[in-house]
Chain A
Amino acid sequence: MATTFSASVSMQATSLNVGGLNENASCIDEQQVTTTRISFQKPVLVSNHGRTNLSFNLRRTRLSISCAAKQETVEKVSEIVKKQLSLKDDQQVVAETKFVDLGADSLDTVEIVMGLEEEFGIEMAEEKAQKIATVEQAAELIEELMQAKK
């Protein structure tokens, strides 16, 4: 019998354990011979070709990149970057965006970092500031410094 599932489902007579994927979790990709529960993020067709014991390999359906910085920090950083580089409002700036991809050279990066320092009231050390290349790195460093300040 063939069955389709959406969202999370529990099914008997199957031995599989698949970890659900979400933004902040690391992906668990195991296949264990245990009882029942399957949960899929996407609808998947599972067919039991007349066998009672069904087990199959599922590769990672989606690679999750764990984001160590808070979303609001990333958003604030993106706002400042957009303003500094005079980008259009619909230009997408996410955590992984590199400054060079937005058309910034090293001087623009220095300016952005200065703007971030002013906005969050922190001081970045020279060596650390030079390494910043993406929005993600900037947000992480900012959070580190804000934690240290408290």
Chain B
Amino acid sequence: MVDKSQVIGLCRSLLRAGRQYPDYNIREYAKRRTLDGFRMNKNLTDHSKVEEAYAEGKKQLEIVERVVKVYSAYPPKTKNIMELKLQ
């Protein structure tokens, strides 16, 4: 039985995991994708669909955590221009 707080917790975990990418592009994509994904399924009422979506989210969380480690092994040498603050 998946309840609202679990879903919110999953969203938070995904956002936190996505924050750790050293590469600006992937980092922003992870944040954008999780929010879009959760918003898209926001109004699901069918319980089996909710469970399905939750399981999918958990799988993605594992993937993100694993890939963060790989990307951190080869961080980019320079900062992306989008990350520089406007002078």
**A113 proximity list for chain B (CB < 8 A):** 12
- Is chain A's binding surface mostly helix, strand, loop or mixed? helix
Whether A126 lies near B4 (C-beta < 8 A) is: no
Closest to A113 in B: B12
Residue-wise, chain A 94-118 has the 8 Å CB interface mask toward B (1 for contact) of 0000000000011100110110001
B61 interface residue per 8 A CB criterion = no
- Is chain B's binding surface mostly helix, strand, loop or mixed? helix
A129 interface residue per 8 A CB criterion = yes
Alpha-carbon distance A126/B19, docked complex (angstroms): 16
Whether A126 lies near B38 (C-beta < 8 A) is: no
Q: What are 27 residue pairs bridging A and B, where the CB atoms are less than 8 Å apart in the complex?
A: A105-B42, A106-B4, A106-B8, A107-B8, A107-B11, A107-B35, A107-B38, A107-B39, A107-B42, A110-B8, A110-B11, A110-B12, A110-B15, A111-B15, A111-B35, A113-B12, A114-B12, A114-B15, A114-B16, A114-B19, A118-B19, A126-B9, A126-B12, A129-B12, A130-B5, A130-B8, A130-B9
Knowing that A110-B8, A111-B15 touch, tell me 17 more A-B residue pairs with CB under 8 angstroms. A106-B4, A106-B8, A107-B11, A107-B35, A107-B42, A110-B12, A110-B15, A111-B35, A113-B12, A114-B16, A114-B19, A118-B19, A126-B9, A126-B12, A130-B5, A130-B8, A130-B9
